[in-house]
Amino acid sequence: MELNITTMRTSSDGAWQGDNPLHHAFPLLIVQTTLVLFVSRLLALLLKPLRQPKVIAEILGGILLGPSALGRNKHFLQIIFPSWSTPILESIASIGLLFYLFLVGLELDLSSIRRSGRKAITIAIAGISLPFLLGVGVTFLMRKAIHGENKVGYAQCLVFIGVALSITAFPVLARILAELKLLTTRVGETAMAAAAFNDLAAWILLALAVALAGGNHKSPLVSLWVLISGVAFVAFQLTLVRPFMNWVAKRSSSNDGLVDEAYICLTLAGVMISGFMTDLIGVHAIFGAFVFGLTIPKGGEFAAKLTKRIEDFVSGLLLPLYFASSGLRTDVFKIQGVKAWGLLALVISVSCTGKILGTFLVAMLCMIPVRESLALGVLMNTKGLVELIVLNIGKEKKILNDEMFAILVLMALFTTFMTTPAVMAIYNPSWDVIASPTPRLLHSLTKSSKKQKDLRILACIHGPRSVPSLINLIESTGTAFENSPPLKVYVMHLVELTDRSSSIMMAHRVRKNGFPFINRLCQGVSRDQIPAAFEAYGRVGQVTIRHTTAISALSTMHQDILHVAEEKRVSIIILPFNRHCRTGGEETMENLGHDWRGVNQRVLSSANCSVALFVDRGFGGRPERRAAQSSAPISKRVCVLFEGGPDDREALEFGRRLAHPSVMVTVVKCIQVEGTDSLEQSHEREVDEAAVAELKRSNESVEYIEKVVAGAETVVSIGRSTEYDLVIVGKEQHHPAMVAELAHQQLEHAELGPIGDALASSSHGILSSILVIQAPGSKK
């Protein structure tokens, strides 16, 4: 049923009055949006095991709803996607696209491109130039082979096809790198820097292509005027609008409430006005939104607020509509005959050859290893939304007909789909890491310091809240005794990768990290709180600190932690407990979720070194302790509960590292009331006694007391006292009285062990921070 759009109403009168809602604009838009979201999310779920980016599912979803699949049923197409609804759907999708391109400009830092170095820029130029040059021949063949294309100007057709072949999708690449855990490797750093330059070049070429298309049926001077006006618009934005937006960002960051909302609304209005201006000039509206995004200060609080307000609504709801509208234009059945399918194979081959070969050869000349160079080439071949935008504009401007449009869309789909499996087959950073054949123990390090000259700790944190206590713990873990190995700490910021994680965050983290554990911070650049805090401490302390960020799904986060632990040969991993404890009169606990607990459990079960769970209750920062210690030479007091066994010996050794004149360590030896030892227990006891004897000889800042322990309540009373800032325990317990008492109790947190679980419980009123240590080989 064809309806006249000039008489179309927005809403229906309802089914009870005999009115079909699908014949009205708004109810039909609701049905279309729901169907698009359902299909794209279903495909994303199906493709998730293949680790494909969401853009693949969205492009496929659009194609399936279009004339290539479901749309071949004319009845379905007339009911769900009638021709009169196309302008409405495309208008809504264009609003989403406008704001998405604003986010792309927001995440693209021009200063980071300037800092990325000659190597990354050279690789990017090679990755653009060779495919573009090969596009000259492809354009010639396609204009000859495809009916009607020879009517379009060669230069206009060449620019659109050249851009389509040479483009790299920066946001999609960031997501793939994060999924493959390559974001903080040398390959990931180089790929991100090159892709950022490539993205900027692609937008310049796209503006050129649109300007050329504007002179298709008019005087060639039209294209020249469009280009001049476009350059003037960019200059106006970067010279006048950018300083104004810097002022807005500073004002917004220092104010709240209505003023803050006003600045955000002003920015959103600026996106619309910029889009209108470039559309008025003759360049597509999205170009204006992208350039306006470049004017927003990067890495600050204002950019984060904008991203938070816009990203979910635009990326989750509006952007899939753009893919659907593109899918409705894509008819795979227009590719008919051997010649057409041969052209598709040719275009895919040329795109892959030009991009991969160009990047590979230049990367090899830059002295990058073969596997890494090849992986770089495959990564730079990633296509995505920008490619689809180029093709849609080309179709709107009558540069590309239906057949050529379908060929280039399938090329973009294939090249992006192949990226993940190809990179997984070519390059895996874990191949370069040789697993240690023997477990790494703290007490064995002291005895065999000739093999490794420093004590290496991997400390993981969830966010800025964990920084002060961790710095206090690192500060306490100094060169406590004579001939002790120097301390090297690797700090890993754990960031969850979710569907709403923006590539601005991922690119920002990589830029702050640089190459893993090399923090190349530049003067005048806004720095992240966490690396800045550790950098400042590293300057004043006698500790070597390296910072990095792990961006990963929680289901695989443990792999990042274990990989770094093996690569750096750390002796102990310190993990934050999955509950944040705060002391403010009455203790409260904030649960970070069961998934974070799973990360800790997987590390505990697989680590080849000691693992410590840190239950932080404000170590070294409690007001009552600071007041009591303000005039005392001893700033912190630590208690080590020692009963015996591998875990307790590791706890004892870590406590020994803490002991120095400003940190008093008390070792409480838990004595059994009665009982006899087996032969195995007798051997363990001899080892325990040797460890205690060595402790007494090596440090004067250690107080050793023995205490008869009748049950868990005795241990809890030690933790409940305000005498100690930190209590260190081994995870596995062998004390008969405590084992018998806790055997019938259900542990709330089994990964802490029976004593650790009791000390970490908020119901006992314990104010001391707790460190539970597990030795390798004693996993439960």
Exposed (0-12), middle (13-18) or buried (19+): which is 701, by Cβ within 10 Å?
middle
Model confidence pTM above 0.85: no
Which pLDDT value is given to residue 260? 78
Residue type, 600: N
Which tokens hold the place of 441? Answer: 């123990």
Residue found under tokens 């809602």:
21
Measured CA to CA, the distance from residue 666 to residue 166 in angstroms comes to 66
Which tokens hold the place of 558? Answer: 């443990």
Measured CA to CA, the distance from residue 627 to residue 249 in angstroms comes to 39
Other Cβ atoms less than 10 A from the Cβ of 490: the count is: 22
Contact status, residue 461 vs residue 608, Cβ threshold 8 Å: no
Residues 510-543 as b or e (16 or more Cβ within 10 Å = b): bbbbbebbebeeeeeeeebebbbbbeebbeebeb
Which pLDDT value is given to residue 389? 87
Helix, strand, coil share (%) of the chain residues, nearest 5: 60, 10, 25
Which tokens hold the place of 607? Answer: 């680590």
In 3D, which of 504, 44, 88, 71 has the Cα closest to residue 316? Answer: 44
Measured CA to CA, the distance from residue 185 to residue 516 in angstroms comes to 6
Quick one: how far is CA 677 from the chain centroid? 52
Question: So what's the architecture of 634-673+683-779 in CATH?
Answer: 3-Layer(aba) Sandwich (3.40)
CATH class, range 15-241+313-426: mainly alpha
Element (H, E) at 770: strand 769-774
- Same CATH fold, 634-673+683-779 and 15-241+313-426? no
Which tokens hold the place of 516? Answer: 């893993």
**What are the residues whose beta carbons fall under 8 Å from the beta carbon of 461, sequence distance 6 or more?**
467, 470, 491, 492, 493, 494, 530, 576
Which pLDDT value is given to residue 49? 87
Measured CA to CA, the distance from residue 635 to residue 625 in angstroms comes to 9
**What are the residues whose beta carbons fall under 8 Å from the beta carbon of 104, sequence distance 6 or more?**
170, 171, 199, 290, 293, 386
Which pLDDT value is given to residue 586? 47
Q: What is the CA radius of gyration of the chain?
A: 31
| 455-511+528-580+592-613 carries CATH number 3.90.550.10 | no
DSSP readout, 176-219?
HHHHTT-TTSHHHHHHHHHHHHHHHHHHHHHHHHHHHHHTSSS-
Number of residues that make up the chain = 780
Which pLDDT value is given to residue 112? 67
Domain boundaries of the chain, sorted by first residue? 15-241+313-426, 455-511+528-580+592-613, 634-673+683-779
**What are the residues whose beta carbons fall under 8 Å from the beta carbon of 638, sequence distance 6 or more?**
476, 655, 658, 659, 663, 664, 665, 666, 724, 725, 726, 727, 728
Longest dimension (CA), the chain: 103
Quick one: how far is CA 312 from the chain centroid? 16
Which pLDDT value is given to residue 621? 59
Which tokens hold the place of 578? Answer: 């999955």
DSSP readout, 44-106?
HHHHGGGT--HHHHHHHHHHHHTTTTGGGSHHHHHHHS-GGGHHHHHHHHHHHHHHHHHHHHH
Per DSSP, helices labelled H in 215-257 are: 221-236, 242-253
**What are the residues whose beta carbons fall under 8 Å from the beta carbon of 101, sequence distance 6 or more?**
286, 287, 289, 290, 293, 389
Which pLDDT value is given to residue 682? 67
CA quadruple 433, 439, 441, 443: dihedral sign: negative
In 3D, which of 481, 467, 653 has the Cα closest to residue 571? Answer: 653
Block means of pLDDT (10 residues each) for the chain, length 780 residues? 60 84 90 94 91 88 91 90 90 92 83 72 91 89 78 79 87 84 82 85 80 61 83 93 91 66 91 94 89 87 84 88 88 89 93 93 92 93 86 86 91 92 86 67 61 78 80 71 69 79 49 39 42 62 77 86 88 85 52 81 91 85 50 73 86 84 83 56 75 74 77 74 86 64 69 84 80 79
Measured CA to CA, the distance from residue 112 to residue 196 in angstroms comes to 9
Element (H, E) at 727: strand 726-730
